[in-house]
Amino acid sequence: MNELQSWIDDPDRDYAEGVALFAQYSKNKALVRYFQTGTARFRMGKLVYEIGKVAKTVSDERANQRANTQLSTPHQAPSTPNAPAHFKGQIKNQVIPDFILAAKKEVSALYALIDKRHRELYDLGTSNADDVVRHRKRILDERKPAIQRADRLYRLKEEWFALDDGTAREQVANDIREMLAAPLAEQPTICTPIETRHATSLQPDVSGLTDLQLSKRRTQLRSSITKTQNMLQYQSIRKATSPTPMPKGPKRDEYEQKLKALKAEFKAVTDELARRAAN
């Protein structure tokens, strides 16, 4: 576990070393192949995020093991109410919706498809013969939408987990359902890009909400803002012992836009509550 956190904390972290560590601790073989066929330039941010998740899982499992060994009742089953669930369909006693399970399954299948296309390109070689060029173009044309869909579906899935119950989370859930219902070839037009969705909601109209709805929404927004800030600073919805800022790139840009939108909505809600209190 220490070597995982040490790699995350290292400002000069090595991509190949990170991939090797991830392969050692992760059971997701498709994701391991995804990193093995990529480069630091395009996949370092995602690798840091995934190793952070693995490090937390390993830490939780070891803490649970230590707790179990301290149970003194000889014939009583170990009780660890705070332990993460290890059975399909639940996380910490929270039932995972079917569309999230379907999204995880499809992302895994897409990674396998992308890996297959990578191998086909490698086997094709570097020849510029006409038939080879045509074949290479066909492979690239087939790989591109798979990469786009896997990236979009993965980010939406992670965003759903990061959000609290509310309209924002339901919108993400609807986007995931629409993506799953549409064929791969149509995926570029399936849903509004996350960054565009946040950018267009910077001036929300909350005047139609009741006082109770505004109060509940303010509480939800506080929590979502904290989690988004933690994602940017620690690459986790919870604070870690030391900061591991999210690297610059599309994912960080997306979360910064999301944070800006959440803060704008929070201001609109608090201003509306203050206006009503003054009247």
Confidence of residue 169 (pLDDT cuts 50, 70, 90): confident
| pLDDT score of 242 | 86
The pair of three-digit structure tokens given for residue 154, joined into one six-digit string: 């993965």
Stronger pLDDT, 76 or 149, i.e. the higher one: 149
Stronger pLDDT, 2 or 8, i.e. the higher one: 8
12-21, 74-83, 167-176 — which is least confidently predicted? Answer: 74-83
Stronger pLDDT, 217 or 9, i.e. the higher one: 217
Stronger pLDDT, 199 or 243, i.e. the higher one: 243
For residues 212 and 224, the answer to whether their CB atoms sit within 8 Å is no
| pLDDT score of 79 | 44
DSSP classification of residue 89: T
Query: Residue 238: CA atoms inside 13 Å, Cβ hemisphere, count?
Result: 5
| pLDDT score of 179 | 85
The pair of three-digit structure tokens given for residue 248, joined into one six-digit string: 């610059």
User: Full-prediction pTM beyond 0.85?
Assistant: no
For residues 148 and 88, the answer to whether their CB atoms sit within 8 Å is no
Q: Which of 51, 174, 181, 33 is nearest to 109 (CA)?
A: 33
Q: What percent of the chain has pLDDT over 70?
A: 80
Q: Which of 59, 60, 34 is nearest to 47 (CA)?
A: 34
Concatenated DSSP letters of 93-123: TEEPPHHHHHHHHHHHHHHHHHHHHHHHHHH
Confidence of residue 190 (pLDDT cuts 50, 70, 90): very low
The torsion angles phi and psi of 97, rounded to 5 degrees, stand at: -60, 155
The pair of three-digit structure tokens given for residue 129, joined into one six-digit string: 């013969």
CA 258 to chain centre: 14
Q: Is the pLDDT of residue 275 over 70?
A: yes
pLDDT digits (tens, 9 = 90+) for 11-59: 778 888 888 888 888 888 888 888 888 787 778 888 888 888 888 877 7
Q: Is the pLDDT of residue 198 over 50?
A: no
Q: What is the mean predicted confidence (pLDDT) over 106-123?
A: 83
Query: Residue 144: CA atoms inside 13 Å, Cβ hemisphere, count?
Result: 9
| pLDDT score of 162 | 83
Maximum C-alpha span of the chain = 77
Stronger pLDDT, 177 or 71, i.e. the higher one: 177
- The C-alpha torsion from 76 through 77 and 78 to 79, rounded to 10°, is -100
Q: What is the mean predicted confidence (pLDDT) over 231-235?
A: 88
Stronger pLDDT, 187 or 182, i.e. the higher one: 182
pLDDT digits (tens, 9 = 90+) for 83-107: 343 334 445 556 788 999 998 888 8
3 state SS of 91:
strand
How far apart, in whole angstroms, are the C-alpha atoms of residue 23 and residue 103? 22
Q: Is the pLDDT of residue 253 over 80?
A: yes
